[in-house]
Copies of this chain bind each other. A is one copy, B any other.
């Protein structure tokens, strides 16, 4: 029963996110927008009721209300009510997309959760490094952006230092929209240097996450790998063989008991 309710809830979340997205698209018939509007309201009322039901049934309502999911649940219902007062605020309904995170909780895919945890752990552990890196990128972008502003000037689209800094970030991250691009030879020369040096530097976060993740992955014996068991360096008293399994009680080479003191107990 509870499982079925959860799946229905999940489908409703997906449907409501799609509704919010479609509502912003121009060119549908009048009728379509009407139906989207009605659908929006039905789902919102359902979400509101679910929110109230949760508060009532949960032992400690305050814990739920101020939890991550509690706040999201509230934020994903009020925008539509607010749209009576403020025009356009129902676009905020997109916050519902965050409710999709529940997919992990509902489907109870522990394996996926495990991966997600490992990933977020790797990102968390490399946070300090990534922050230092981003700080350097920001400083470099400010310096390089100012240089580009001085060289290229406003005719090329580098209308101000902030815009130049924005361009530098676009270039360093290799996104390269091309809405602004250097046109003078000197500007293109500096841009080439920024790109090449930038490319060398930008490899850093990938390297960090790679290394951090590889460490995480090899951290503890992988339970999923059948060929992997914990062995230790204890040597058998009788034959000297080592690399016994951690939980071994007899030598795998000569069969002598490895822990005679246990027997005596």
Contact = CB atoms under 8 A, between A and B. Distances in A.
A169 B195 contact: yes
Contacts of A131: 112
A225 to B, nearest CB: 6
Given A139-B97, A178-B178, A200 B253 contact: no
Interface stretch (A32-40, A46-54, A58-66, A141-149): A141-149
Contacts of A2: none
Interface string A209-248: 1111111011001001111111101010100101111011
Contacts of A201: 123
Interface in A137-170: 137-139, 142-143, 145-146, 149-150, 159-163, 165-166, 169-170
Nearest to A154: B26
A16 B44 CA distance: 48
A9 interface: no
Contacts of A179: 178, 181, 183
20 contacts: A21-B142, A21-B162, A24-B160, A95-B143, A97-B139, A100-B135, A111-B128, A130-B200, A165-B192, A166-B192, A173-B199, A178-B178, A200-B205, A203-B208, A206-B207, A206-B209, A225-B225, A228-B231, A235-B240, A251-B252
Interface of A: 17, 20-22, 24-26, 88, 91-92, 94-95, 97-98, 100-101, 103, 111-112, 115-116, 118-119, 122-123, 128-139, 142-143, 145-146, 149-150, 159-163, 165-166, 169-171, 173-179, 181, 183, 185, 188-189, 191-192, 195-196, 198-215, 217-218, 221, 224-231, 233, 235, 237, 240, 242-245, 247-257
